[in-house]
Structure 1
């Protein structure tokens, strides 16, 4: 065919003008589609009140949560007694170990005489009167006699005690807190605020307006002040809670209870290879491994075990689903099993199994079998049986009939026809899809584990519910990501070999 010149094209356009005119839709479809998208996004912005949500969101709290993933907190509490004496208390399992004395907290202490209530001991008295108490049940129709000796009142003792009169906390550069018995002063950069503590009335009253980095939800209630990545503080009339944040994961290797706690890596290696035994019953190497695996703060062994449980749960559930979906898909394929009733029953079964979400199946089986991996395996098995069955049947309905006819033409029985005429065509696709679902179910098993179906999902949910162990949440999320990345690479490599014919 020769190319037409301009004159020939103009002649054709003159004879058939309708061919050269574009329809109204062809001329305006781009602006119409663009306007429709803009209108849809405007409607969604209004319907979901995005502007209000963004405007009222507390981004400071969101930033604190994110910071908690990659940091840990030292949490001293400053308790204020009725007589104005103060005491600094640390949690039992504080990250800095026993006898904490951080350099960022300065406390002025004094030794004073204080009157303290001491409960009296009944056993120390000289009274031998019957109290009427008996471990035997009273006889029917009788009443248990009342105690005849009342508990003596508490005694007041005056003794010498060391108290804290002032505490100064450095939360970072130009960010400080000073705690006095009846007053708290806070500074953040150039802003300063003072809070008056009335322990008798149980109120906290700010002097003036609170800055943007502090909030008080109820009049006279507690005040929470945020110091960015450095932490936050909660001020009440009887207690000041300090939350000082540090980058990193505290005690990730050795907990405060370990004999290796606080030692440098060189000291630990030296003790393991050539040091005197810290525990006469076992070697230092065995002690170090035991302390790492059974670290009470991080629970490494339990986390790794639950992660392996999640992987096995996803693998077994997918494997069973593949074995069941494979034969059922032949009944659902119209070109393989020419029985319309059987086709419809198989397809509706697949629709039912996959229409119920995996999470719903997990809730059902958790009630049936109790919490554990069996519920998770059953949920993955049923959901994937429906999805894989549908995909397999559609692959069977799109096979090349020539190969099957070739096998049938040599007089092969029906089973042999399917074995050599159908299975070789669809098996790479079947295996590729099963591998993809195994990779996907590794992630899904984490979600269903949160509702009690076993695996690391349940442990992840437990850490999130505490609302304070976000570094443990980050640790488990990273482990899950690593496993997903590894399985994704393995799955992609195997699928490439299957689809590429083994190359």
Structure 2
């Protein structure tokens, strides 16, 4: 191999200087790209105030919401009367079950004689046919006036005079109105309640918040739960890990029983309901569980699946013929091509969520609005993808079919479809999988399905375990459909490569 001498290199450099010199971009491109990236990150950090957001974020609330997804709460309300006595009440549907008497609440009960004031009752108004005398009023009128006066009644009642709520092994709330003492670990907080509202007798620790003087005090106990102190009550939310009542609600005769006990009752136990077998009763209690509403949730999930499938199917059916008109190498009419392509752009330029709002207003809430939104959006997207696939086919196969005198339809059938059909099917399967997720989102705006059910549960800001349940079901469906779609696409594209 001949090598160039120094004089030869100088001659070449003099004639072609650009070959031996590098540009500024070539020398500093990595530094320029890195610097631009750093400047962009700094700009985004400043423009979106990321530092301020992270600094002011309440990470404790985020942890509480996350804990609500995997737990349930028992929620006693301890009302405080003006005389300092208390009453402990659980809501009707509290997961603690009927006749609650938890061991984490210690209450001192006393029977007191109390005088209850009965408010005045309105005098009955009756029609009378007898004459009225202005001179001599009747005795009935005097008795009616006396009946409207207020009266008092003496009763014996069992009340709570002192209570201790154990949130966990180290945290507790002691109620001795008008003073409430809260202990969390080694820290203590004393609060006074009365006509002036709620007053902290010492500086509030980090786990206690009060928005304004006299307002309620919020207490955070981590995963154990939280409580709020009002001037007339203490509301306790004690948290437990798990989903209580997931299979049977507190109103079910199977509530609180182990799986072994339920199985024994179903297999050989005496009938609980004379008109229904224990198996049928257990299935009925599970499906119509008022707390978890399994049957309704599954029905809404099926609506979402059907909504995604039907919307994608209609979009594929309509986009298929339109893509042949939009493809320039199939339909050689530029105005027609552009008209169909602009129609595709119009359909896909507006997000599916916006179309869902539009069709919900047009058709009313329900799956029809969701199907229409998916169909309308995906027709434009699939039409564009199909037309581009058609424009990139190998014309040799089509020319070969045309050379034997085949009709135009036969040319498309045997010269075009074998090339693009696997691509069309693969793209349709991908959109079907993607729309299964999208149908959940558009359902939240009234398009039906489990999305609407999910939004209703989130709006309560209390049933986060139900939200987690529906999210888990959605994830399972998405995983299954993703696996099916990937398997079918791999099979289709594999057949195409082998052909």
Give yes or no for TM over 0.5.
yes
Evaluate the alpha carbon distance shift between residue 423 and residue 255 of structure 1 in structure 2; reply closer, same or farther with a 3 A threshold: same
Match 2:161 to one of 162, 165, 168: 165
Whole-angstrom distance in 2 between the partners of 1:54 and 1:150: 69
Q: Aligned pair count? A: 478
State the Cα distance separating 1:128 from its structure 2 match: 7.3
Deviates most, 460-469 or 80-89: 80-89
1:74 partnered with 2:70: no
Partner of 1:491 in structure 2? 485
Q: How far apart are residue 218 of structure 1 and its match?
A: 1.1
Of residues 458, 462, 487, the one that matches 1:464 is 458
Q: Which residue of 2 is the match for residue 52 of structure 1?
A: 52
Residues in 2 aligned to 1:10 and 1:118: alpha-carbon distance in whole angstroms:
118
SS of residue paired to 2:265: helix
Q: TM-score, normalised by structure 1?
A: 0.92
| Two-structure CA RMSD over aligned residues (Å) | 1.8
Give the Cα separation in 2 of the matches to 1:263 and 1:74.
19
Deviation at 1:92, TM superposition (A): 1.0
CA distance in 2, matches of 1:9, 1:197: 99
Give 2:177's aligned residue.
181
> 1:45-444 maps to which residues of 2 (within 5 A)?
45-119=45-119, 130=126, 152-198=148-194, 200-201=195-196, 203-444=197-438
Q: In structure 2, how many angstroms separate the alpha carbons of the residues matched to 1:10 and 1:303?
A: 83
**Structure 2 CA distance for partners of 1:55 and 1:265, relative to 1, 3 Å:** same
> 1:263-283 CA distances to partner (integer Å, 9 max, x unpaired)?
111111100000000001100
Q: Is the 8 A contact 1:76 1:243 kept in 2?
A: yes
- In the superposition, relative to structure 1, how do residues 129 and 426 fare at CA in structure 2: closer, same or farther (>3 Å)? closer
Deviation string, structure 1 residues 64-89 (Cα, Å, up to 9, x no partner): 10100000010001101122110001
Deviation, structure 1 residue 368: 1.3
| 3-state SS of paired residue (2:164) | strand
Give the C-alpha shift of residue 460 in structure 1: 0.1
Gaps of 5+ in 1: 133-147
With over 3 angstroms needed to count, the CA separation of the structure-2 counterparts of 1:57 and 1:129, relative to structure 1, is: closer
Over 3 Å counting, the alpha-carbon distance change for 1:128 and 1:413 in structure 2 is closer
Q: Note the C-alpha offset of 1:151.
A: 7.6
1:334 counterpart SS class: coil
Comparing 157-166 and 9-18, the one that deviates more: 9-18
Query: 2: distance between equivalents of 1:46 and 1:341?
Result: 48
Aligned with 2:442 (options 420, 430, 448): 448
TM-score by length of 2: 0.93
8 Å Cα contact 2:218/2:227 also seen in 1: yes
Is 1:41 matched with 2:55? no
Unaligned runs of 5+ in 2: 129-143
- Contact preservation (8 Å) 1:222, 1:234: yes
- CA deviations 1:105-152 (Å, max 9, x no partner) are 111111111122335677xxxx876269xxxxxxxxxxxxxxx97982
- What's the counterpart of residue 135 of structure 1? none
2:243 partner SS: coil
Which has the larger displacement, 108-117 or 346-355?
A: 108-117
Q: Is the 8 Å Cα contact of residues 129 and 149 (structure 1) preserved in structure 2?
A: no
CA distance in 2, matches of 1:334, 1:38: 44
Q: Is the CA contact 1:307–1:455 (under 8 Å) kept in the aligned structure 2? A: yes
Q: Tell me the secondary structure at the aligned position of residue 176 of structure 1.
A: strand
Moved more, 179-188 or 408-417: 179-188
Is the 8 Å Cα contact of residues 331 and 342 (structure 1) preserved in structure 2? yes
